[in-house]
Each structure stands twice: as structure tokens, then as C-alpha cells.
């Protein structure tokens, strides 16, 4: 909607998806908006991990 910058959001169901999206956006912005090329993923038989810049910097699970 032209001219508007605030919108109402309704959330339903067992998870608070909009809250999770906002938390992820805040995390991303707090790290100077890294591009896709700075993310990586490590996988072993116990788990998979997403990280920023190096495996020692895991991306937190937000929510």
C-alpha cells in the first residue's frame, strides 16, 4: 500500500512465524547483512550446522 510503513500482522497456529522472521532479520542486520557467500553448512551423521564465515560461528536457531 503506497505511503504506509506500518502493517498489522495476525499469527495463528503453534508457532509464532512472524516473530521468528523478525528475530532472524534482526540477527542478519546486526551482522551487517551478510550475503549468501558468507554462509556455510557442515553435515555429519549426528547433525547439520549452518554457520557464518567459519564453522566456529554457528547461526543460532531462532524462535
For 1-11, what is each residue's pLDDT tens digit?
A: 788 889 899 99
* Alpha-carbon span 4 to 22, nearest angstrom: 19
Res. 63: pLDDT tops 70:
no
27, containing H or E segment: helix 17-30
Task: Tell me the domain boundaries of the chain.
Answer: 8-63
Task: List the helix and strand counts (H, then E) for the chain.
Answer: 1, 2
Provide the pLDDT for residue 34.
Answer: 97
Quick one: pLDDT at residue 39?
Answer: 97
- pLDDT tens for 37-53 read 999 999 999 999 999 99
Quick: pLDDT tens for 28-40. Answer: 999 999 999 999 9
Task: Kindly tell me if the per-residue pLDDT of 26 is higher than 90.
Answer: yes
Amino acid at each position: 500500500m503506497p505511503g504506509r510503513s506500518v502493517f498489522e500482522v495476525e499469527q495463528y497456529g503453534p508457532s509464532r512465524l512472524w516473530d521468528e522472521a523478525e528475530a532472524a532479520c534482526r540477527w542478519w542486520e546486526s551482522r551487517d547483512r551478510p550475503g549468501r557467500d558468507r554462509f556455510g553448512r557442515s553435515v555429519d551423521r549426528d547433525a547439520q550446522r549452518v554457520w557464518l564465515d567459519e564453522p566456529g560461528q554457528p547461526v543460532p536457531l531462532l524462535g
